[in-house]
Structure 1
Amino acid sequence: MQRVGSGSTTSGSTRPRKEKRLSYVLNDADDTKVNDAVLTGSTLVSCSSDTTLKTWNSLSDGACTSTLRQHSDYVNCLATAVKNSNIIASGGLGGEVFIWDIDAAVIPVAKSVEPMEDDYSNENYRQPLASSHCSSTSSNVSVYNTEPHYCYSPVAVKGHKESVYALAMNESGTVLVSGGTEKVIRVWDPRTGSKNMKLQGHTDNIRTLLLDSTGRYCLSGSSDSMIRLWDLGQQRCIHSYAVHTDSVWALASTPNFTHVYSGGRDLSLCLTDLSTRESLVLCTKEHSILQLVLQDETIWVATTDSSVQGWPADGHNFQKDFGKGGSFVAGNLSSTRASASLEGTASAPVHKESSFTIPGSPVIIQHEILNNRRRVLTKDSAGSVKLWEITSGAVIEDYGKVSFDKKKEELFEMINLAQETLRGLLACWLTNKRLRCELQASTKDDGSIGKDVTNRNVFHSRVEFDDRDNIDDTTVLPPFDFSTVSPPSIVTEGSCGVPWRKKITDLVGTEDEKDLPWWCIDCVLNGRLPPRDHIK
């Protein structure tokens, strides 16, 4: 039985404590949007909209090894030091930036101060907040308590008043830059968390940052469509490049920091010489560019589409690309590039097709709910039309690449129900509703008229019939099927007053009846749902 952390105990009290009812269903799997990921050795670190960081063993079966909790809102971005890869910086919508020592956060070093087995059985023991392990080491980056009941705490970088969207760190991990909706770049010492300077110049949100290996120069891309080059030693902007016509979301530089690849909302991948200001459109995409990675002679491009493409990037002979023609000089003002685009004088892209493509899973781009509210018709980015069962999440029939509108007309009429397509996935909200209708008798001798009362929620679907002869006649329909990959858990407080949590699939039948919610037992054994005002 996994205990949930509690700050108080009732083991010494003889007064019976009122049992708390279940108020939510918890899925232990991470099913929210992943916003960024970095690789540190064999460990992959990801950040998500569930406000956590997770570490994964990239050389194993991909299992999550630990979960780090410190942020109060969505975690947007990560940054790591190449020569000190165990140091990770994270930033999010809460205006928080934390510096993590991944090795110290997930590996207990001094076993002599670890809690004993008896400590885990104590009702007062708290499960760690920031990690699945407690650590007792210290370094020049992280400071935390060595007592067994305290967890690793990252270095908090304080100063942001608004959301953070971009982070970058130099190779040795001595300089950290951050930016967001405040339109300024802040420079920090990640070893102490102290702020060194603040750089102003952008007129809109800062979306991407890049540092050279020494930490002297910084490149920034913003929603004002500008790319700026900063000299941190002089604490000022030394060059501005008007390359794009819309927000700049991604940057990637050559190892010697002489050329930069850029992309963003205007669907263009550009190459710019930082010294001569000469720019070139390498290719145009069908989707906005989110991330760029330069590897050898290939620039990998990730977009809002699920596929990743690699385009030619001859880092040893840039003049070969510039010599093909179509280059332009990046101006100092964003209006110059926008004017060229409107006048039709924008450069044609150098490449027509990518060198490599890593196909991703097709995402759902269109959907319609059927009248029975349990099935949905979808169309994905590959053009396939499918019919789904909502309660089980399974495909009933795959119609292939057919007309979505024609298939929709064959299956159902339009209805109104709250639904949306998010992140390429279907989200259908089923609210508690009570529908009443009259049912005609099936035989001509029986003229009784009843009421069909349908209650639907995440636990049960039930139909009750009230007739003249037997008002207690109840038919119970099968409950919704829960996923076996991420089964729900019961989170409640037992009769002894101690909270506990356990997955439904882990119930073996030996649990104490007093530890289970009374309404849960009533639902399972008698098929009765609690009154609606008791479900909160």
Structure 2
Amino acid sequence: MSSSYKRKIQISVTLRNESEPAHRSSVNSLQYDKSTGRLFSAGSDSIIRIWNTSNNDIISNDIVSKRYIQSMEHHCDWVNDIVLCCNGQNLISASSDTTIKVWNAKQGFCMSTLRTHQDYVKALAYAKDVELVASAGFDQAIYLWDVGTLTKLTATNNTVTTSSLNGNKNSIYSLAMSSNANVICSGSTEKIIRIWDARCCQKIGKLKGHTDNVKSLLVSDDGSQIISASSDGSVKIWSVGQQRCIGTIQLHNEGVWALATNDNWTELYSGGKDKMIWKTNLRDFSDSLLILEEDNCIQKILFVEENGNKYLWTCGQSENIKRFKISTSNSSQLVFKNVSDNDDDDIGGESKNNISLQLETKHLLNNYNILQNNTNNDEGKKNPHLPPDIIIYGAPSIRQYVVLNDKRHIVTKDTENNVDVWDILQTRKIGQHGKVFIDEVVKKYNKRVYVPSWFSVDLKLGMLQIILDETDVFASWVTAKEAGLADKTQETKLNYGGIFLKSLFNRWVKSTMCYNENDDEMDDSNNQTIFQLPLHTTIILSESSGRPILRSCVKDVGNETESSILDDLMPTWAKEAIEKQVPPKFNKIPFALIPYSANLNSTNNNKNPKRERLSATEMLQVRKIMEHVLTKLIGGNDGTVNSNNSYNSNTYNPGNNSYSINSNYNTNSQGNKMITNSLFNNIENKIELYCNEQKLDPDMDLRSVKHFIWRQGGDVVIVYKQIR
């Protein structure tokens, strides 16, 4: 099976808390189960959460004990949409990880995963009378799924047949379906609404009229009407039978992203980028009320009517979820009346009856010209602020990061301006600095050292995600001293990528077997450096495009099932480091040694200085170069220079912690060792090295010299000077 996976595979790791009871980024979709009072929310942090809303206590920040029930975790990217099916027994979710997942909504576990889509899955639609779900996304495809079949899928019975609807030419952002599936429609960046009969996959027609992306759609239960919302700022009501627009509502200043109606299809609620929610009477399109103003752009409106009360649940570009109790009359709301007659439209054409609205105030509004395109009336003196009766608070998300020079630590800043420090190798937070400037913390922790990048960072989930790729994962070699490992010989060479992979998959049976078989041969080297990572640390194997192949965690990689899957899917570059203990190769840097001369920089100096060209591993310390200069170029027997010298030209031996110049002073002879050690004592008082006229620190390594001081191509030129 492994031979079939020739695709480029990346490994990503999410640094997070074991329990994440609050959304850490925007909330994209909501579903409500009236029978249990449970609210389901889908977030951009890849997690679906379940909330208890039956407790109508006073607003509280303590969401863990008051509202939170559990998290449903299996997606690897934004969860864009969810629908409840089978009277609340099951939930279907759509994600930017290109998958659709079927959940047991009562117990909160994932039952199966559908991988039919080839790009982000953006929208779902549900026909409750026939238990049919439709999915659509950026791959321009619409698929139809029988919910009864989906809920019966198992590990062995994992084949499902789906129908598709063709015709879309652009990425699909919105989808809606009537309760018996006789009408399904899609909206896209094509600015056209396409209609099918889902029962026979037959095209019905297409509706033109919007001038921008169609972001939200609704279909009446009987399939006779469609309501659409667009980024062009308009809401349109369409007759499916006549295939024409029967009303255009221009209430919003900016794009309209969310729509909801009551069960009787008599009240329409719209919201979007302008943060306003409007109520429109669907029996009289001219009768509209400004219900409330939100704090953030609105992405989803959910209408709930129970116990004689009407509620609006809202979510959007915020980590918070709110519920508003609404009434049919509110003295602080605006009323707009239509003063023009409806004009007929051409079939499939744009509406000509853009409703002209005239402001009629029941309460003075302040600084709010809601219909600047439709009216110049500026009597308004005050915004309507309907307070929510429930707020489910989210948690801050990371929005800024700085990778420190040591390529092990990252400083982050979240949406509440908290600055923290993270240790990548340990996948945990190691410092909290509160609300300070991020540059101050970076300056405090940063060192003048250069370590090549061995990972990339993604913040799309609102949390730190570390991505490992075969092109650079083994690029960073450091000494035990630089890594701060006191239990290692200071000159022991360690590879950050190798350490990280072994730590992540330490519980994997292949890794364990390898250690057991080679215990007698293991030395104090990179191979035994393993960090005990938090067991909940999430591990994702995915294609380079971001399409996930496997989601697991440190705790589960040792399970029999997970271990078998990893054996098939693990990329070769990672498997060799984990299973075969193959050490990555060192990178080498060429450099030249030139003796100091007072006329070295003089243009009148016609003689080229004697130059020794060498190459060494990038981690070679300046101190080692000083030792070479002292023994070979200054203290040598004949003082001659060999232009073909090369440090450590042989393959790296993990057990050899020194860089051999040659056997003249790196020998097993105890006497020679004592002479050599004596010669190198206080070497700073005997030799000075310069690069670009800057004196070099003996503890700086060669790559740091090249990055911070040389800063150009070609051989690094180092000038040596003997101190008399």
Matched, 1:97 2:142: yes
Give the letter for the 1:305 counterpart: S
Match of 1:176 among 179, 184, 199: 184
Match of 1:456 among 485, 492, 497: 497
Q: Separation in 2 of the partners of 1:360 and 1:425?
A: 13
Greater helix percent: which structure?
2
Count residues with an aligned counterpart.
Answer: 446
Question: Where does residue 505 of structure 1 map in the other structure?
Answer: 558
Question: Where does residue 381 of structure 1 map in the other structure?
Answer: 415
Give the letter for the 1:529 counterpart: P
Question: Where does residue 277 of structure 1 map in the other structure?
Answer: 286
Instruction: State the SS of the aligned residue for 2:459.
Output: strand
Question: Where does residue 198 of structure 2 map in the other structure?
Answer: 190
Q: 1:525 to 1:169 in 2, by over 3 A?
A: closer
Q: 1:482 to 1:489 in 2, by over 3 A?
A: farther
Give the letter for the 2:254 counterpart: D
Question: Where does residue 69 of structure 1 map in the other structure?
Answer: 115
Q: 1:383 to 1:488 in 2, by over 3 A?
A: closer
CA contact (8 A) 2:12 2:466 kept: no
Q: Deviations over 1:442-493 (max 9, x none)?
A: xxxxxxxx997856366369xxxxxxxxxx99555735766644775999xx
CA contact (8 A) 1:43 1:56 kept: yes
Question: Where does residue 362 of structure 1 map in the other structure?
Answer: 396
Match of 2:582 among 511, 528, 534: 528
CA contact (8 A) 1:99 1:156 kept: yes
CA contact (8 A) 1:93 1:162 kept: yes
Q: Deviations over 1:382-439 (max 9, x none)?
A: 4443322223432223344555555444444899976453242334556447468999
Q: 1:285 to 1:376 in 2, by over 3 A?
A: farther
Matches for 1:196-235 after TM superposition, within 5 Å: 196-235=204-243
Instruction: State the SS of the aligned residue for 1:327.
Output: strand
Q: 1:226 Cα deviation (Å)?
A: 0.6
CA contact (8 A) 2:226 2:237 kept: yes
Question: Where does residue 464 of structure 2 map in the other structure?
Answer: 426
Q: Deviations over 1:139-196 (max 9, x none)?
A: xxxxxxxxxxxx2211111111111111111222322111111111111111111111
Please provide the CA RMSD for this pair. 4.4
Give the letter for the 2:459 counterpart: T
Matches for 1:57-206 after TM superposition, within 5 Å: 57-60=104-107, 62-84=108-130, 86-107=131-152, 132=155, 134=157, 151-206=159-214
Q: Separation in 2 of the partners of 1:407 and 1:258?
A: 56
Q: Deviations over 1:82-105 (max 9, x none)?
A: 333x21110010110011002113
Q: 1:360 Cα deviation (Å)?
A: 2.1
Q: Deviations over 1:47-95 (max 9, x none)?
A: 11121110111211x21111122111111000112333x2111001011
Q: TM-score by structure 1 length?
A: 0.70
Instruction: State the SS of the aligned residue for 1:456.
Output: helix
Match of 2:529 among 472, 478, 484: 478
Instruction: State the SS of the aligned residue for 1:459.
Output: helix
Instruction: State the SS of the aligned residue for 2:295.
Output: coil
Question: Where does residue 309 of structure 1 map in the other structure?
Answer: 322
Give the letter for the 1:95 counterpart: Q
Q: 1:171 to 1:21 in 2, by over 3 A?
A: closer
Give the letter for the 1:299 counterpart: L
CA contact (8 A) 1:267 1:284 kept: yes
Q: 1:341 Cα deviation (Å)?
A: 9.5
Identity percentage over the alignment?
A: 29
Q: Separation in 2 of the partners of 1:408 and 1:504?
A: 35
Question: Where does residue 91 of structure 2 map in the other structure?
Answer: 44
Q: Separation in 1 of the partners of 2:551 and 2:467?
A: 26
Q: 1:329 Cα deviation (Å)?
A: 4.5
CA contact (8 A) 2:253 2:370 kept: no
Q: Separation in 1 of the partners of 2:184 and 2:576?
A: 57
Match of 1:32 among 74, 77, 97: 77
Q: 1:225 to 1:435 in 2, by over 3 A?
A: same
Instruction: State the SS of the aligned residue for 1:283.
Output: strand
CA contact (8 A) 1:95 1:162 kept: yes
CA contact (8 A) 1:67 1:132 kept: no
Q: Separation in 1 of the partners of 2:434 and 2:386?
A: 29
Q: Separation in 1 of the partners of 2:375 and 2:442?
A: 40
